[in-house]
Structure 1
């Protein structure tokens, strides 16, 4: 389930690996070209990474082995960014408006009033979403 960002106080990645095991990874066209040799799953004109033994083929233990090259949806997790949505999901980045949702299935979501740290993570997610950055800093496990 996804909730508007305003309902979340904070989030951090603890590298539990749950997101790599439990979610399908939809690919952009560029990612499709990069990963197609691994074998993909096609469903309704969308391509997904094929899981091996129930987990992402790049997951070693609980850690992603291709951190900087992983698909954008993985870099953004647990954030989802849209151009339309509910008013309580509205987030201003500069003079641009986005609608930001957070997947609460992640065990490290803390509900409450949004902290500065959460807003910094949202800013990074929007920069990734817009292609303004490719490397992840705040959205990955900081102690890994």
Structure 2
């Protein structure tokens, strides 16, 4: 389930690795081309995905991602955040004069929902980074998702 960001009281990534099991990573065509030589990607109905092995992402090492920096798919960098151009009022976020609608997946066990529809400054800073990643303004994650394996 996806909830608007304003309904989330808090969230943090503790590198539990659950997203690598629950989430099906959709790739852009460019990401597909970069990862195709690994043999760990697949195409279904004109869309590209990381192929799961044993029910999990094959790039997961322990509880962390083995893909480095720009190789890590945008969908993975963003999870559990999903940024859209249309949505509901509680998901609205304005950035550089543009409208975005940001949702957070409750599949992540660290998402804490709020009983009140009040903005959390911490969650808002995470939303800002998610939008920056979505627009391509930012390429590397500082606050959302766990760091990659070195």
- Specify the TM-score bucket, using the shorter chain as the normaliser: over 0.9
| TM-score normalised by L of structure 2 | 0.89
1:82 to 81, 84, 87: 84
Gaps of 5+ in 1: none
* Mapped pair 1:137 → 2:138: no
Contact 1:25 1:49 in 2 (8 A): yes
Q: 1:9 deviation in Å?
A: 1.2
Aligned length: 143
CA distance in 1, matches of 2:108, 2:138: 24
Q: 1:52 deviation in Å?
A: 2.1
Sort the Cα spacing of 1:35 and 1:82 in 2 relative to 1 into closer, same or farther, 3 A.
same
Q: 1:126 deviation in Å?
A: 0.5
Partner of 2:12: 12
Gaps of 5+ in 2: none
- Supply the RMSD in Å over aligned alpha carbons: 1.5
CA distance in 2, matches of 1:12, 1:97: 25
Partner of 2:127: 122
CA distance in 1, matches of 2:68, 2:4: 26
**CA-to-aligned-CA distance 1:52-90 (integer Å, 9 cap, x gap):** 222111100111112422100000000100001112211
Q: Runs of at least 4 residues of structure 1 off by over 4 A? A: none
CA distance in 2, matches of 1:72, 1:25: 9
* Mapped pair 1:62 → 2:67: no
Partner of 2:27: 27
